[in-house]
Structure 1
Amino acid sequence: MKAVVCSRGELEVAEIPAPEPGPGQAVIAVRRCGICGSDLHARVHCDELADLAVATGYDGFMRSDQRVVLGHEFCGEIVDYGRGCRKRWKPGTRMVALPILRTGRQPQLTGLSEAAPGGYAEQVLVQESMAFPIPNGLSDDLAALTEPMAVAWHAVRRSRIGRKQIAFVIGCGPIGLAVISMLKTAGVHTVVASDFSARRRELAARCGADAVVDPKIEQPWTAGPRTGRIEGVTDILNLGFDAMGKLRRVPNLPWWHLFRMAHTLRLDPAGPVVFECVGVPGMIEQIVTAAPPRSRIVVVGVCMQTDHFRPAMAINKELDLQFAFGYDPGEFRDTLHMIADGKVDPAPLITGTVGLHGVQDAFTALAHPDQHAKILIDPAAS
């Protein structure tokens, strides 16, 4: 079969053996596959990524001297099954799947491991237990976005954001746009998006952002409604004075029980939730310095370099710092059905489609944020 092979940072269309399904695996004929920012990083920084993966307990990540087929955001149709499968779906059934395979007890990341060739190809292997039929006649283009949208849904769920809390999305690349869409799907009233690129700000508005700012002109923290917002440490201290002034007016009131109840029910004064979707050195420090007190910062952008921030600044503001990566099978399935049911529309993310021979140019184009967000690959296209 034809596939785009990555080796030593170079991409080429090559003929490779068609995949043979192992126990519990199925073959899918790829109809669409998204180009992810992780693919762009892996192409040139895979050895660093592999060293990092080894440190976290996974030794199967691709290396630069290997020949690897990238692609983990795919949809397609069932072609064949390996032994031990239940054969739940007829050949021709359109499917999406979590991009992960397992041989015995050894998992491999599809599209990021030599042992699990990805979706930049005419066919790809999936684990039958991790595959899902595409419902409601959902288009191939939108079905292929299940994976990146599931990443965003996981980040939103991990943030535990309330509907009335303000969400700030810093960086409106594909993952930032997906986070914006999922925040609005979750019912968050106010989403403020920030990006230097005019094109990406336009896409952020199409994804549902309530306010979009150019950080060269305006900081995101000044946008959106200001009523009741905690903007500085002084606001928190004054809340304490105001509360105690009112409570102490009631004779013999055991006011400390009210504080304990507020802590138990998580009714403490809370700041906004900030989603860092840029992934370059210095972003965490910028957000820690500028974000309001009691903010929760959710890091979704993947920074590959060593970074630094001032813990004392985060301590004085009582900031929460979280990191989000991936998703679980339930979140993946739910994301697919949210898209198919029209609860979230990821269509604004798609800015182009290429065939296998266009992947090299697509990688070049994706380096310029004013042109593209998400480019899909159609292996059947010229």
Structure 2
Amino acid sequence: MRAAVVTDTKFEVADLPTPSPGRGQVLISVSRCGICGSDLHARTHADEIADLAVATGYDHFMRSGQSVVLGHEFSGAVVDYGPGCRRRWKAGTPVVALPIVRHGKQPHLVGLSTAAPGGYAEQVVVQESMTMPVPNGLSAEHAALTEPMAVAWHAVRRGKVGKGQTAFVIGCGPIGLAVISMLKAAGVRTVVASDFSPRRRELATACGADVVVDPATESPWTAAPKKSRINGVTDILGLGFDTMERLRRVPNLPWWYVFRLAHTLNAGPAGPVIFECVGVPGIIDQILTAAPPLSRVVVVGVCMQIDRFQPAMAINKEIELRFVLGYDPGEFRDTLHMLAEGKVDPMPLITGTVGLSGVENAFTALGNPEQHAKILVDPSSSAVTPV
């Protein structure tokens, strides 16, 4: 089969042996495969990421000197089964799969390990238990976005955004755009998006952002149409005085029970939920400095460098800081069905398609935020530049 192989940051199209599915695995023909920011990082920073992976307990991440077929955002069709499969779907059935396989008891990340070649190829091996049929005639292009949209759905779920809360999305690259789409699919009424790039701001609007700002000229924190009651620590203290004065006006009221009930129901004052989708040093510190008190900050952007921020700033504002990664199989399935049922439209994210021979050009094009957001690889295409 033909595949785009990267070695020491350089791509070449090679003829490789057809993959053979192992026990419990399925061979699928690749229809489309998205290029992810993780792929861009893996191409140029493989050894750093591999060292980090080892430190967190995963020993099989690719190294720079290895030849690897990248690609973990794919859709395709069933070709064949390995031994021990239940053969749930007939040949030709459109499917997607979580990009992880198991060899023995060892898990391998598809497209990020030499033991699990990815979707920049005509065929890819997936785990039958992690494979799902594509419903409702969803197109191959949109089905391929199940994986990145599931990342965003996981981030939104972990953010626990109330429909009446304001959500801020800082950075409108592919993952920021996906988060905006999923926030709106979840019914969040006010989404404020911020990015320096005019093109990305345009795409943020297309994805449903209610307010879009250029942080070079306008602060996202003052752009929200719904003004927060709490803008500083003094406001929190004032709220405490006001609440106690009201409660003490009621004779014989055990006012502390009111507080206990509020704690049980999580009904106290809350700030906005902020999604950091940039992933460069300094952004977390900027957010903690500028964000209102009682905010929840969800870090989705992957920063590969050592970063610094001032913990006392977050402590004084009682800001909650969460880091998110990936998704679980249930979130992946729900995302697929949200796409298939039209609850979320991934079309604004897709800005180009290339064939296997165009993968290197696509990586270069993705370095310019004014050109592209998400480029798909179509193994049957001859396009060498994104179209």
1:139 alignment partner AA = S
Aligned to 2:364: 364
Distance in structure 2 (CA, Å) of the matches to 1:155 and 1:208 = 17
Aligned to 1:268: 268
Distance in structure 2 (CA, Å) of the matches to 1:64 and 1:226 = 48
Aligned to 1:66: 66
Aligned to 1:300: 300
Q: Secondary structure at the match of 1:270?
A: coil
**1:97-116, CA deviations, whole angstroms, 9 ceiling, x for partnerless residues?**
00000011100000000100
Equivalent residues, number: 382
Q: Secondary structure at the match of 1:68?
A: coil
Distance in structure 2 (CA, Å) of the matches to 1:282 and 1:293 = 19
1:28 alignment partner AA = I
Distance in structure 2 (CA, Å) of the matches to 1:347 and 1:365 = 19
Aligned to 2:286: 286
Distance in structure 1 (CA, Å) of the matches to 2:243 and 2:329 = 44
1:52 alignment partner AA = L
Aligned to 1:48: 48
Distance in structure 1 (CA, Å) of the matches to 2:37 and 2:94 = 25
Shift of 1:291: 0.4
Give the unaligned 5+ runs of structure 1: none
1:209 alignment partner AA = A
Q: Secondary structure at the match of 1:29?
A: strand
- Superposition TM-score, scaled by structure 2 size: 0.98
Alignment of 1:8-87 (within 5 A): 8-87=8-87
Distance in structure 2 (CA, Å) of the matches to 1:228 and 1:31 = 47
Q: Secondary structure at the match of 1:204?
A: helix
Aligned to 2:147: 147
Distance in structure 2 (CA, Å) of the matches to 1:77 and 1:275 = 35
Distance in structure 2 (CA, Å) of the matches to 1:107 and 1:129 = 13
Shift of 1:227: 3.9
Q: Secondary structure at the match of 1:330?
A: helix
Distance in structure 1 (CA, Å) of the matches to 2:316 and 2:135 = 49
Aligned to 1:339: 339
Distance in structure 1 (CA, Å) of the matches to 2:321 and 2:255 = 31
Aligned to 1:182: 182
Q: Secondary structure at the match of 2:269?
A: coil
**1:64-107, CA deviations, whole angstroms, 9 ceiling, x for partnerless residues?**
11100000000000000000000000000010000000011100
Shift of 1:250: 1.1
CA RMSD of aligned residues (A): 0.7
Shift of 1:229: 3.4
**1:45-74, CA deviations, whole angstroms, 9 ceiling, x for partnerless residues?**
000000000000000000011100000000
Q: Secondary structure at the match of 1:11?
A: strand
Shift of 1:268: 1.1
Distance in structure 2 (CA, Å) of the matches to 1:73 and 1:125 = 13
**1:140-174, CA deviations, whole angstroms, 9 ceiling, x for partnerless residues?**
11000000000000000011111111000000000
Shift of 1:331: 0.3
More divergent stretch after superposition (249-258 vs 120-129)? 249-258
Shift of 1:224: 1.6
1:9 alignment partner AA = T
Distance in structure 1 (CA, Å) of the matches to 2:326 and 2:260 = 35
Aligned to 1:380: 380
1:295 alignment partner AA = S
1:57 alignment partner AA = G
Give the unaligned 5+ runs of structure 2: 383-387
Shift of 1:228: 4.3
Alignment of 1:85-124 (within 5 A): 85-124=85-124
Aligned to 2:330: 330
More divergent stretch after superposition (238-247 vs 212-221)? 238-247
Distance in structure 1 (CA, Å) of the matches to 2:184 and 2:277 = 16
Aligned to 1:138: 138
1:30 alignment partner AA = V
- Superposition TM-score, scaled by structure 1 size: 0.99
Aligned to 1:125: 125
Distance in structure 2 (CA, Å) of the matches to 1:205 and 1:370 = 15
Seq. identity, %:
74
Aligned: 1:162 with 2:168: no
1:232 alignment partner AA = G
Distance in structure 1 (CA, Å) of the matches to 2:224 and 2:178 = 20
Distance in structure 1 (CA, Å) of the matches to 2:226 and 2:80 = 57
Distance in structure 1 (CA, Å) of the matches to 2:229 and 2:101 = 46
Shift of 1:226: 3.3
Q: Secondary structure at the match of 1:334?
A: helix
1:96 alignment partner AA = V
More divergent stretch after superposition (213-222 vs 9-18)? 9-18
Distance in structure 2 (CA, Å) of the matches to 1:198 and 1:85 = 49
Q: Secondary structure at the match of 1:69?
A: coil
Q: Secondary structure at the match of 2:200?
A: helix
Aligned to 2:385: none
Structure 2 contact 228–271 (Cα < 8 Å) conserved: no
Aligned: 1:205 with 2:205: yes
2:106 alignment partner AA = Q
